Amino acid sequence: LSPVCLGSLRRAASINAEYMGVFLRSDRTLEFHTQYGLHHKTRVPRFGRDISYHSQSCDLYIAADSPEVYRINLEQGRFLAPLQTNLTYGVNVLGINPVHQLIGLGGENGVVQCWDPRDRTKAGQLNIQESLQASSDGRKIRIPSSACGVTALRYDDNLTLGVGLESGHWLLYDLRSSIPTVVKDHRYGLPIVDIKFHNNSKKIITADKKIIKFWDRDTVDNYTSIQPETEVNNICLIKDSGLIFAATEDHRILTYFIPSIGSAPKWCSSLDNLTEELEEEHLESSYDDYKFVARSELQSLGVSHLIGTPLLKAYMHGFFMDLRLYSRLQLNASSFTYEDFEKQQTKKKIEDMRRDRITKQQRIKVNKVLHETLTEENSKKSRRKKSKPSSRDLQKETPKETPKETGEDNEDEHDSDWEITVSNPTGDSRFGQLFTDPRFQIDPNSEEYLQRHPTLSTKRRRGPTDTEFSKLSKFYATDTSDDRNKSLGPIRGTKRLIFQR
């Protein structure tokens, strides 16, 4: 394709078997390609939606967003008079019957028209919504008028016409009747993008943006389906084969091969050999009705005395047993008697009684004060969780002011949050030696402990020892200069307050 053209590809049509084709782009551009590449490029008056080539008259028909269907004669190389239709909202799709060359046009308003290319006159018209009301299957389906637009149209033979709708339904018509013979739904609510007929396998292939479905021609039942990962734009079926190409919103053309509807084409016959190698053959085994049992399992079932009899066939480290016999033995071995039930109930009652017994509490020998503090904090946490009001109660009740208590500190006022952040290692086995091993004894009078707890009362603070006091006294007594005394005056006053016992 031409790299200069910026419009995306909308439709393509083949002119002959010598790789000559026409491409319709979204910017009203028509490109004619041959074996060596781009041959000619022209533009149409309106934005095109679909194209189709009529080989008998060498006319190229272009459906656009207007009531006119434009014609280009490739033999003369010029535009001809368009087909004037009454499809005011534009023509979505068009198709040409391969037998009698009747041209079918599908409109945005749910109308299908058939035109005779010989005298360029309308041969007939079909309203989709009215035809659905006239059929027994169509009365059960309610399609709004806004979703009756024709999005796909395809002729099978000289009398069969397939129509795809914007609502996700597809219909089959006989040209001799205005009532549809088949009405099917894709169940996705997406427009039908294409309809194909596979005559060799008598299958109908329909596609929407999400899925490609295969239908049986005689029973119209769903045969199989293909669901690509990206949106489907169009499908291409290789004639008389099971090879299908799908154009999706991907940089690759997806390829599917279904051997059940047709063989591979001659130019890729290796697909048939590949599918034969991948075909799985189910071989009936002579041991399908037997169960492999090990020697230990025979002893648990109590049938070890059957070893050596025709009921057991030795194999590797065990035996093969008839599946019906194994099922009976398994049922008898797992039977639940009334005596077993009584034993279970008695055992359960004894365990419940043992839980209610008073157990001896372990005495705390190390860090007893810490253990009591953590236990008290844990009990406060559980009480606060129980007394925490719900959000619904907080909305109903208005907050009341409570007078502050004097004397002792109110712990609830200091803790604004409901949760307690102090960790509680009393119930954790990893901290068990903290309350049993004397090496973990905490000295509240040590310097390290006082540095980590600076908010303790001054009564618990330890004063300097006699040795420390004598060293500090000598230090301040050695220097008698006036400047020294002036600079150390505030420090000496502070020293008296700190060293006060």
The residues with which 121 forms a beta bridge, in sequence order, are 116
If 0-12 CB within 10 Å is exposed, 13-18 middle and 19+ buried, where does residue 445 land?
Answer: exposed
Beta pairing, strands 103-107 & 111-116 = antiparallel
- What single string gives the DSSP state of each residue in 398-437? PP---PPPPSS--HHHH--SSS--S--GGG-GGGGGGGT-
Whole-model pTM over 0.75: no
What 3-state class would DSSP assign to 186? coil
Q: Would you say 52 and 34 are in contact if contact means Cβ atoms under 8 Å apart? A: no
Looking up tokens 């590797």 gives 316
Farthest-apart Cα atoms in the chain, separation:
133
Q: Would you say 204 and 195 are in contact if contact means Cβ atoms under 8 Å apart? A: yes
If 0-12 CB within 10 Å is exposed, 13-18 middle and 19+ buried, where does residue 465 land?
Answer: exposed
The pLDDT of residue 376: 81
User: DSSP state, 501?
Assistant: -
> What's the CA gap between 49 and 149, in Å, rounded?
14
Sign of CA dihedral 256, 262, 263, 264: negative
The pLDDT of residue 157: 86
The pLDDT of residue 441: 86
Give Cα 82 distance to the centre of its chain.
49
Determine the straight-line distance between the first and last CA of the chain, rounded to whole angstroms. 101
Give Cα 35 distance to the centre of its chain.
45
| Per-residue pLDDT tens listing for the chain (501 residues) | 444 445 688 899 988 877 889 999 999 999 999 988 899 999 999 999 999 999 999 999 999 999 999 999 999 999 999 999 999 889 999 999 999 999 999 999 899 999 999 999 999 999 998 898 888 776 677 788 888 999 999 999 889 999 999 999 999 999 999 999 999 999 899 999 999 999 999 999 999 999 999 999 999 999 999 999 999 999 999 988 999 999 999 999 999 999 999 999 988 888 888 777 666 555 555 567 888 899 888 888 888 888 888 889 888 888 999 888 988 888 777 665 667 778 888 888 888 887 766 655 667 778 888 888 888 877 777 777 666 555 555 454 444 444 444 444 444 444 444 343 445 566 677 777 788 888 888 888 888 888 887 776 454 555 566 666 666 666 655 554 454 444 444 444 444 444 444
Looking up tokens 């070890």 gives 304
Q: Which amino acid is at 193?
A: V
> What's the CA gap between 436 and 363, in Å, rounded?
9
Q: Would you say 29 and 5 are in contact if contact means Cβ atoms under 8 Å apart? A: yes
Count other C-beta atoms under 10 Å from residue 210's C-beta.
16
> What's the CA gap between 64 and 401, in Å, rounded?
79
> What's the CA gap between 2 and 5, in Å, rounded?
6
What 3-state class would DSSP assign to 326? helix
If 0-12 CB within 10 Å is exposed, 13-18 middle and 19+ buried, where does residue 203 land?
Answer: buried
What 3-state class would DSSP assign to 42? strand
Sequence-distant (6+) residues with CB within 8 A of 28 are 7, 43, 44, 45, 46, 47, 48
Looking up tokens 């020998």 gives 365
Angle at 254 between CA 249 and CA 260, to 5 degrees: 140
Of 455, 373, 381, nearest to 417 by C-alpha is 381
Q: Would you say 109 and 87 are in contact if contact means Cβ atoms under 8 Å apart? A: yes
The residues with which 95 forms a beta bridge, in sequence order, are 104
The pLDDT of residue 8: 84
Q: Would you say 207 and 238 are in contact if contact means Cβ atoms under 8 Å apart? A: no
Angle at 430 between CA 426 and CA 433, to 5 degrees: 75
- What single string gives the DSSP state of each residue in 357-399? SPPPPPPP-SSHHHHHHHHHHHHHHHHHHHHPPPHHHHHHSPP
The pLDDT of residue 153: 96
The pLDDT of residue 380: 77
Buried b (16+ CB within 10 A) or exposed e, 308-323: eeeebeeeeebbbbee
If 0-12 CB within 10 Å is exposed, 13-18 middle and 19+ buried, where does residue 184 land?
Answer: buried
- The beta strands (E) that lie in 186-231 are given as 192-198, 203-208, 212-216, 222-226
User: DSSP state, 309?
Assistant: S
Consecutive H or E run containing 354: helix 338-355
Buried b (16+ CB within 10 A) or exposed e, 425-436: ebeeeeeeebbe
Q: Would you say 208 and 190 are in contact if contact means Cβ atoms under 8 Å apart? A: yes
Looking up tokens 């499809």 gives 87
Sequence-distant (6+) residues with CB within 8 A of 500 are 463
